[in-house]
Amino acid sequence: MAKDEEAGVEFQAKDYQDPPPAPLVDVEELGQWSFYRAIIAEFIATLLFLYITVLTVIGYKSQIDANNGGDECGGVGILGIAWAFGGMIFILVYCTAGISGGHINPAVTFGLFLARKVSLVRAVMYMAAQCLGAVCGCGLVKAFQEAYYTRYGGGANELADGYSKGTGLAAEIIGTCVLVYTVFSATDPKRNARDSHVPVLAPLPIGFAVFMVHLATIPITGTGINPARSFGAAVIYGKDKAWDDQWMFWVGPFIGAAIAALYHQYVLRAGAGKGLGSYRSSSVI
């Protein structure tokens, strides 16, 4: 294998072969400690994610509440809330990627399942752990901020006034598609083999994707793009509006995840496969 030059930079070419797809049902996983360790990691990560982010949302609303002596121009603002969500995803994906893959989101798990990156058993158990972690995380917020929790909406996702359900659903589809597309691109091992001279810290672009989507869609739906996040907040908050709109925060993210998975696997990866083939043929002497 020889060294190639591209744009004046030398790098070592790497060969790569796709790993086999995950089995649909892998019963052997149930007997492995690493499987249960990954489930625990997803539970704890989602719990911490909801605890920090929902506290941020409630704290911001209390800071701008004029009836509570707040300043309408104060608080962290939408920018701060977006940073809380994006920053926590960056931290938690970085911490758990080597254990569970750092999904922390049923939509991400669903997209990876469609791409045959995880088995059905693992996908179902991850989603259950994520939803339970989200409920527990919001429960901690309510326990610590019970006086403010219900008054300021409990961090629950709801469709904002003035927007149709179709607009809210579209916002969730597009937002989740951006996130899951970023997950696939940032963690693609074929890309890492081909572009080994360009180091990529996967949690960083994933966190930025969450940050950017929140900036765009907080005014519309409060930004779900994570069914566990919306479910956990709705369970603890328990008001009708949060439950009436709950379907939107499951259907939208799952459709968005499916679109991202199909686009990456059957459009981008098909082209990447040809490009890698020509790259390898030109780099071998």
- Which range, of 6-15, 18-27, 51-60, 97-106, averages the lowest pLDDT? 6-15
Higher pLDDT, 146 or 258: 258
Per the CB < 8 A criterion, the answer to whether 208 and 86 are in contact is: yes
DSSP for 153-208, please give it: GGG---PPTT--HHHHHHHHHHHHHHHHHHHHHHT-HHHHHHTTTS---THHHHHH
First to last CA, the chain: 7
As a whole number of angstroms, the distance between CA 185 and CA 201 comes to 11
CATH number of the domain located at residue range(s) 21-283 in this protein: 1.20.1080.10
pLDDT the model gives residue 184: 93
Domain residue extents for the chain: 21-283
As a whole number of angstroms, the distance between CA 53 and CA 155 comes to 8
Per the CB < 8 A criterion, the answer to whether 128 and 135 are in contact is: no
What would the pLDDT profile of 35-94 be if each residue is shown by its tens digit? 999 999 999 999 999 999 999 999 888 888 767 666 666 677 899 999 999 999 999 999
Q: What is the mean pLDDT of residues 173-195?
A: 85
Residue 264 pLDDT > 80 = yes
pLDDT band at 158 (very low <50, low <70, confident <90, very high): very high
With CA atoms as reference, report the closest residue to 178 among 96, 276, 253: 253
Please name the helix (run of DSSP H) or strand (run of DSSP E) that holds residue 118, with its range, or none.
none
Residue 15 pLDDT > 60 = no
Please name the helix (run of DSSP H) or strand (run of DSSP E) that holds residue 10, with its range, or none.
strand 9-12
pLDDT the model gives residue 105: 97
pLDDT band at 201 (very low <50, low <70, confident <90, very high): confident
Strand, helix or coil at 5?
strand
Per the CB < 8 A criterion, the answer to whether 58 and 154 are in contact is: yes
Please name the helix (run of DSSP H) or strand (run of DSSP E) that holds residue 6, with its range, or none.
strand 3-6
pTM: 0.85
